[in-house]
Amino acid sequence: MDKAFLEYVNTKNVSPLFYVGDALATLKLFPDDSIDCCITSPPYWKKRQYANGGIGMEADYNEYIGNLVSVFMEVYRVLKPSGSFWLNLGDTYYQKSLLNIPWRVSISLTDKGWILRNTIIWNKVKGGLDNTKDRLRNVYEPLFHFVKRDKNYYYDIDSVRNAPKSAKVVNGAVVSATGVTGVRYKRKIELSTALTDEQKQDACQALNDILRQVERGEISDFRMIIKGAQRATHSDSEMVSGRARELREKGFYFLKYHPKGSKPGDIWDIIPEDTQGRTSHFAPYPSDLCRTPVILTCPPEGIVLDPFVGTGTSCFVAMQYNRKSVGIDIADEYISIAKRRCGEVVYNASFLERGNYG
């Protein structure tokens, strides 16, 4: 058990705690169920020669995958039951074949007990230069979100919603954020040949109730699905869609938009960072890639872990949002850069000497 970590946990200080050392060996010093959120981007296989070697230079990609899985199963141990693990990993071509390494790692982790909640596509927008003439240019990488249990993990979805436009009242009529007044829906109800008179009456009453909810700010917007006018949202089969059954029985239903805005989607447009630490580290991942995971899945008093911290982006973001963080890297020169980025660091536990990581 590492004393520096235990001391850090019990302080109010949000300056990061950095370790110089092998990720697997260092993680073994942490207690079970002690980390709230882990986000990392480990070295990609055969992509770059990093300082002090380490994971990424294995002769065989299966060995690389095995080494990563070993580290991430140790992350599983130190992560709280309420915690989340975010993994950004790029792929590699080998002998002209794209190896699908990120998905091989993801499948290996789910086979060992991790639960995959989302695969986010990081669209790098511009990507890098690519002079190959026999394949398309790559402009994306996956970001996987894993949890240890299928419910009751920390997830503050309201903190990352997109701010909605406000509803308004025009000439006495309620107008939703996207301009819905209910007039078109009322006309469809009146002209419907698929609804009974009783269903038409219920539909009009329900529509008026929804408009009042918009006016009070309880929802920001809505869609009304009416039998005969639109099909069920996902499927017409009642075996796979409760909405289809509701449409048959009631003749209508509503899709309500949250008053605090919509949830982010699973495609993130984020331009890679080109400048930070480029003289020493050639693959820093962008702060914007860390912000949503940290805000969404690490509680305000929680601790963020990055076992391949590099130049400290994840710790830098955690500190910006008043979260504690722990960063591990095998290269002391990267840790030095991370310290400079994050400012003065009170706790420093550089304890493993280079070459003694058994």
Q: Which residue has the higher pLDDT, 244 or 100?
A: 100
Q: Please, which pLDDT band fits residue 328 given cuts at 50, 70 and 90?
A: very high
In angstroms, rounded to a whole number, what is the distance separating the alpha carbons of residues 347 and 325?
A: 11
Asked whether residue 281 carries a pLDDT value surpassing 70, the answer given is no
Please tell me the predicted confidence (pLDDT) of residue 276: 42
What average pLDDT score do residues 33-48 get?
93
What average pLDDT score do residues 54-74 get?
95
In angstroms, rounded to a whole number, what is the distance separating the alpha carbons of residues 118 and 142?
A: 10
What average pLDDT score do residues 57-71 get?
96
What average pLDDT score do residues 88-107 get?
96
Q: Which residue has the higher pLDDT, 161 or 40?
A: 40
- For 92, other C-beta atoms within 10 Å of its C-beta total 17
Please tell me the predicted confidence (pLDDT) of residue 291: 96
Whole-Å CA distances, 95 to 92, 98, 99: 10, 8, 10
What average pLDDT score do residues 200-225 get?
89
What average pLDDT score do residues 13-22 get?
94
Q: What percent of the chain has pLDDT over 70?
A: 84
Q: What is the DSSP string of 137-188?
A: PP-EEEEEEEESSSSS----GGGGPBPPPPPEEETTEEE-TT---SHHHHHH
In angstroms, rounded to a whole number, what is the distance separating the alpha carbons of residues 303 and 316?
A: 13
Asked whether residue 162 carries a pLDDT value surpassing 80, the answer given is yes
Please tell me the predicted confidence (pLDDT) of residue 220: 82
Please tell me the predicted confidence (pLDDT) of residue 122: 96
Q: Please, which pLDDT band fits residue 274 given cuts at 50, 70 and 90?
A: low
In angstroms, rounded to a whole number, what is the distance separating the alpha carbons of residues 309 and 348?
A: 14
Residue (of 245, 266, 221) closest to 123 by Cα position: 266
Which two three-digit tokens encode residue 129? 């230069």
Radius of gyration of the chain (CA): 25
Domains of the chain from N-terminus onward: 3-159+264-342 (3.40.50.150), 164-257 (no CATH)
What average pLDDT score do residues 26-53 get?
88
Which two three-digit tokens encode residue 72? 């991430």
Which amino acid, 277?
A: G
Residue (of 99, 168, 177) closest to 138 by Cα position: 99
Contacts of 55 (CB under 8 A, 6+ apart): 23, 42, 43, 64, 67, 68, 71, 308
Q: Which residue has the higher pLDDT, 304 or 10?
A: 304
Please tell me the predicted confidence (pLDDT) of residue 51: 57
What average pLDDT score do residues 244-255 get?
86
Average pLDDT of the chain, as a whole number: 86
Beta bridge partners of 123: 140, 269
Q: What percent of the chain has pLDDT over 90?
A: 61
Contacts of 151 (CB under 8 A, 6+ apart): none
